[in-house]
Structure 1
Amino acid sequence: MTVPTPPTPRGLRRVALASLVGTAIEWYDFFIYGTAAVLVFAPQFFPGSSDLAGTLAAFSTLAVGFLARPLGGALMGHFGDLVGRKSMLVLSLLLMGSATFAIGLLPTYADIGVWAPILLVVLRFLQGFGVGGEWGGAVLLAVENAPPGKRGFYGSFPQMGVPAGVILSNSVFLLILATVGKQGFIDWAWRLPFLGSIVLVAAGMLIRAKIGETPEFAETRDQGLRRNPLLTVVRDNPRQLLLAGGTFLANNAIGYVMIVYMLSYGTKTLKLSQNTMLTLVLIASAVWLVTLPAFSALSDRVGRRPVFLGGGLVLLAWSIPFFLLLDTKTIPLMVVAVVITALGLSATYGPQAALFAELFDADVRYSGASLGYQLGAIFGGGFAPFIAAWLQGTTGSSLWVGAYLTALSLISFVCITVLRGRERSTVEATPQLV
């Protein structure tokens, strides 16, 4: 039997870089779609609709990506447990990059009629499928290579890919808007972020090609893998899967409301400029990026659940004040709104990688972690921008959106209070979950 060799310090740095860069590229691809859905897809792919109907239609295509994510997570998680983490990470990046590049070439409704939104939905589905398999593999790459006692910190690197992807995507949109103006952006320049992603994907592929399998996967492979890890984890771990998904509802919904819906709300309801709203998202994402590893490292010392619970309380208490401050249209107060939200997101997202890995045995861990994550994503962030837009449009009040997010925060808070790790997990779980 092969004895797994722990990675060297240089190897650890390479793993951390591969997990961060790869996920940042994947999330850049995923998020530029969300930003474009707010700024350009309604008139380009759903013309003739009312402003609200066009926005809802664009957000509906956004949700399609979330519907595909559990499928990608299930299938790639299954094969990631069978043939290895690395191959699925390469496949997910290739699939996401190809779909994103194709969106940049897509004809609009004026060019090919109803086929334009149909093809947009198909490509969004492929994006969702790719990113569905990305998270679990990137997380396990980091966590399973991490030294004992630092799994939370190393697990934060793929998590940082989310705010890094937001910063990269919004910075690109701000640069293009400043260069070509609003009309030039709507007419043609919106395609540039999608087409340019092919360069990032190529760089990510080169980085990931240099990494190997994790020591824990190598060990389970030598001992004999389960023939059907997906079926096994669903049959043996239904409670962990459902509770893991529940812990992620609030974080994902509030994150997408801030990243995607807030752009629409700020420009169409509050009548603020696109640059102002994109800048607010950038500020929130920068705070999220910087504080995320700090909360993750803290979870190595005090446990995952205490950090999660603290962040959950912030999200629970802040969902309604968040919109009250946005509604003032006073920039300093709006900055306060997004910064405090970002702190709550960091505390409930940073330790998540290690927490989800600690719930499942190594031979079903890719399947289990991916499914738990994507269940929370589809019922949390998948429909959040659509529901938020519908609530605001039908009631005329942002407080109903805040109430919706408060309800999800309560569900997530309850889930994390009852979630426990598995002592049989080969990842050191018990000392850190209690």
Structure 2
Amino acid sequence: MSTAATPSAKPATPGPISTKAQRRRVILASLVGTTIEFYDFYIYATAAGVVFPILFFTGNDDTAKLLASMATFAAAFVARPIGSVIFGHYGDRIGRKATLIGALLTMGIATFLIGVLPTYYGIGIWAPVLLTILRFCQGLGLGGEWSGAALLATEYAEEGKRARAAMWPQLGAPFGFILANGFMLLLTMALAFNSVTDKGNLDHPFMMWGWRVPFLCSVIMVVVGLWVRFKLEETPVFKKALDQDKKVASPLAQVFKLNWLQLIQGTFIMLATYVLFYLMTAWILPYATGSVALGNLGIGYTNFLVLQLLAVLLFAAMIPVSGIVADKFGRRRSQLWITSAILIFGLTFKIFVDPASVGQGPNVQIWKVLLFLAIGMTLMGLTFGSMSAILPELFPTNVRYTGSGIAYNMASILGAAITPFVAVALTANFGVWMVGVYLAFAAVLTLIALWFSPETKDRDLATI
């Protein structure tokens, strides 16, 4: 394989030095940007389990409508690799800053338009069609966002502290989740909405207009994010590539020609992380709050949002820990241990969330469900925190945006797009224990990818 395919492990001539002030601006820009993007993304996930099956899909089969809603949820994950290719091309050609602004606008506009979209009862079949298109656009935006924000953090980082610097954009995931679910929690409490008894009531204020408010308010956050990002400078590592005239005409062709192995490694390194997170968020919400008659737990929607928000605090707390551990012990070793723990966790679903074990309706043992969420979100923080260092470190500078973005977002198709859909089907046909087996299988695939991947802790990001 060509030497351009894999970054050298030996330090090269250092690029331009970033100042503390620049690094603080980068931290703010990457954190604010990813928080906004994930807020927009999770608002949809929150509504997909409760609102969209009622307002955008027809029929008498509640499970079928939920599956249809989860299918539109998955549309964004199909779009994410496309977004990573589009934004990655420009990110590697014209720079990280301008591309990140474009990604933020794409996501923000799509989210706002969902908030004003007529329902099936207003425009018929066009409602789910337009909803799917806008969800696809959300995926395009997030597909370009993550890799750009990760590159901002890693390419500005101090030597030996790259994973700790890279964890800042990762915090956008739990922060965005807290904002999205917190907003929805306040709305449901203010409007006295109960998902078990009120979600079929089209005259309830929450079903009429309340669910739209979080989507519409995202425009305020987008304006803030744009203001922060316009104040950024281009990264020192990318400036060095420009100075040496090392840009490539087609980053996509280059990365598939010379870095195909890193694309496969990065995709499967992220697989278990994605499966875990979207089980803990998108799947568990309708399962925990759904009808007892359909085999769900029947926990009140508001009550369950509180449980999720408590657990997400552990997700956020573990992300800095993940960065510190990855810098001290290495990316590969730490991820091997964490992924092994995820595998074991997958085999405990029958204990924590099976109705036969925890009960249903008013008899649910809430403490077991909370413990389940707490363990899952703790593991999520530990595995997710250093991913924004691991994936960029696999690729050289002139294809890093494209390569890391494709790997991250291909994993989103395999590990996230189909996960809520498959989990609903597995629960309905085999029981919730099989969902845990699905997670354990994903963890096995990630362990294999990690075992055959190199340690990237000491690689020089200026390598082209």
What TM-score comes out, normalization by structure 1 length?
0.95
SS at structure 1 position matched to 2:232? coil
CA apart distance, 1:428: 8.3
Partner of residue 126 from structure 1, selected from 137, 140, 143: 137
Question: Aligned partners of 1:370 and 1:246: how far apart in 2?
Answer: 13
Q: 8 Å contact 1:19–1:138 — kept in the other structure?
A: yes
Q: Does 1:351 align with 2:380?
A: no
CA apart distance, 1:64: 0.3
- Which is helix-richer, 1 or 2? 1
Q: Does 1:381 align with 2:402?
A: no
Question: Aligned partners of 1:49 and 1:209: how far apart in 2?
Answer: 49
Partner of residue 114 from structure 1, selected from 114, 119, 125: 125
Q: 1:104 to 1:323 in 2, by over 3 A?
A: farther
Question: Aligned partners of 2:457 and 2:176: how far apart in 1?
Answer: 35
Structure 1 residue aligned with 2:179 = 168
Q: 1:73 to 1:357 in 2, by over 3 A?
A: same
Q: Aligned-pair RMSD on alpha carbons? A: 1.6
Aligned AA (1:250): A
Q: 1:47-62 counterparts in 2 under 5 A?
A: 47-62=58-73
Structure 1 residue aligned with 2:33 = 22
Partner of residue 267 from structure 2, selected from 226, 242, 245: 245
Q: 1:364 to 1:424 in 2, by over 3 A?
A: farther
SS at structure 2 position matched to 1:181? coil
Over alpha carbons, which structure has the higher Rg? 2
Question: Aligned partners of 1:273 and 1:78: how far apart in 2?
Answer: 45
Question: Aligned partners of 1:226 and 1:284: how far apart in 2?
Answer: 44
**Identity between Structure 1 and Structure 2 (%):** 38
Q: 1:14-413 counterparts in 2 under 5 A?
A: 14-182=25-193, 183-224=204-245, 225-268=247-290, 269-327=296-354, 328=358, 329-395=364-430, 397-413=431-447
Question: Aligned partners of 1:99 and 1:323: how far apart in 2?
Answer: 38
Structure 2 residue aligned with 1:418 = 452
Q: 1:282 to 1:428 in 2, by over 3 A?
A: farther
**Aligned pairs, how many?**
426
Question: Runs of at least 4 residues of structure 1 off by over 4 A?
Answer: 421-425
Question: Aligned partners of 1:311 and 1:376: how far apart in 2?
Answer: 18
Q: 8 Å contact 2:330–2:455 — kept in the other structure?
A: no
C-alpha distance after superposition, 1:8-30 (max 9, x if no partner): 21221111111011001000001
Q: 8 Å contact 2:349–2:435 — kept in the other structure?
A: no
Structure 1 residue aligned with 2:196 = none
CA apart distance, 1:257: 1.0
Aligned AA (2:418): F
C-alpha distance after superposition, 1:151-194 (max 9, x if no partner): 00010001111111111100000000011122321221000000
CA apart distance, 1:421: 5.0
Aligned AA (1:304): R
Gaps of 5+ in 1: 430-434
Aligned AA (1:195): L
Gaps of 5+ in 2: 1-13, 194-203, 291-295, 359-363
What TM-score comes out, normalization by structure 2 length?
0.89
CA apart distance, 1:416: 1.0
C-alpha distance after superposition, 1:223-268 (max 9, x if no partner): 1111111110111111110111001111111101111110100011
SS at structure 2 position matched to 1:278? helix
Point out the more displaced range, 381-390 or 418-427.
418-427
Aligned AA (1:385): P
Aligned AA (2:271): L
